[in-house]
A = this chain, B = another copy of it.
């Protein structure tokens, strides 16, 4: 049997051990394992890496612990605006959506943009119109409502705190989920989804829906999904940066991820992490923060989820 691999993340940042009760830690790990197993099982059954990353990210979107889909944070207007993207490393086809509301699974809409439209990137109401045409599942506002997210928002909603206080809501800033996979056909894929930033204004778009910044996949090099301070990831073109170091400098996957996460991104001031996989089945999970919700599983017997470093 050919190598298969999958890795995922549920966000990175200042995850304080003290604020994570044992029960909550168990819940996070259970959900990460569920998402990992879902994607891995598809890979075992012969599904493509695109199917696997979509399925894993869908599980994380459907869980309110993570800031994507159900459980997305509140904007300054008290609404939810979600972004997502997906890329197929075998064809370099890609799909992305930004600032969408009501769509249950933004990652599934990204895939429809990739496969059913002539475009790569749709935004706002236009993207929602496309979702309706594609018969995507929509959910009412109460589906996305989560008491914890709501309390987070209440504590900052009449302030500029998302801009001014980096510590208090740091965790939210880094809320993103993602998956990368290698299938038995030797193709890699990457998927990323986020509910954005608590109390965000002005239709802010982060790196998650930007091909090259928060998400990238190419059989020649690797598949990457990022999580972190999105503005820095956009300016550093982070996901493609890993790919270029492999392509042009001949770096190994782990070496390229380390160079990007701990040097190139860090020099710019960017905090966060990324997950990556290449066509040999190698996996890399790297971050320059205290923790990253993450998991990895492959056909060599690796099977683990973790939060802290």
Among A39-47, A118-126, A290-298, the one that faces the other chain is: A118-126
A118–B161 Cα distance when bound, in Å, is: 12
> What's the nearest-Cβ distance from chain B to residue A280, in Å?
21
Q: List the number of copies, as a whole number.
A: 2
Among A21-29, A182-190, A199-207, A281-289, the one that faces the other chain is: A199-207
Which residues 201-245 of A have a CB within 8 angstroms of B?
Answer: 201-206, 210-213, 216, 230-231, 234-237, 240-241, 244-245
Q: Which residues of B contact A231 (CB under 8 A)?
A: 118-120
Residue of B at shortest CB range from A240?
Answer: B237
Among A8-16, A53-61, A91-99, A136-144, the one that faces the other chain is: A91-99
A124–B81 Cα distance when bound, in Å, is: 12
Known: A93-B235, A123-B99. A130 touches B202 (CB 8 A): yes
Q: Which residues of B contact A216 (CB under 8 A)?
A: 237
Does A237 lie within 8 Å of B211, measured CB to CB? yes
Does B120 lie within 8 Å of A203, measured CB to CB? no
Interface size class of A (residues with CB under 8 A): 35 or more
CB of A117 closer than 8 Å to a CB of B: yes
Does A122 lie within 8 Å of B204, measured CB to CB? yes
Interface centre among A122, A125, A211, A236, by most chain B C-beta atoms within 10 angstroms, is A211
Q: Which residues of B contact A92 (CB under 8 A)?
A: 235-236, 268
A268–B235 Cα distance when bound, in Å, is: 24
Does A204 lie within 8 Å of B121, measured CB to CB? yes
Q: Which residues of B contact A121 (CB under 8 A)?
A: 204-206, 210, 234
Known: A240-B240, A248-B249. A234 touches B203 (CB 8 A): no
CB of A163 closer than 8 Å to a CB of B: yes
A205–B241 Cα distance when bound, in Å, is: 22
Does B235 lie within 8 Å of A202, measured CB to CB? no
Residue of B at shortest CB range from A243?
Answer: B237
Does B211 lie within 8 Å of A234, measured CB to CB? yes
List 17 A–B pairs whose Cβ atoms lie within 8 Å, in order of A's numbering.
A94-B234, A120-B230, A120-B235, A121-B206, A123-B124, A124-B203, A127-B202, A129-B201, A130-B201, A210-B210, A210-B211, A210-B212, A211-B213, A211-B234, A212-B240, A216-B237, A248-B249
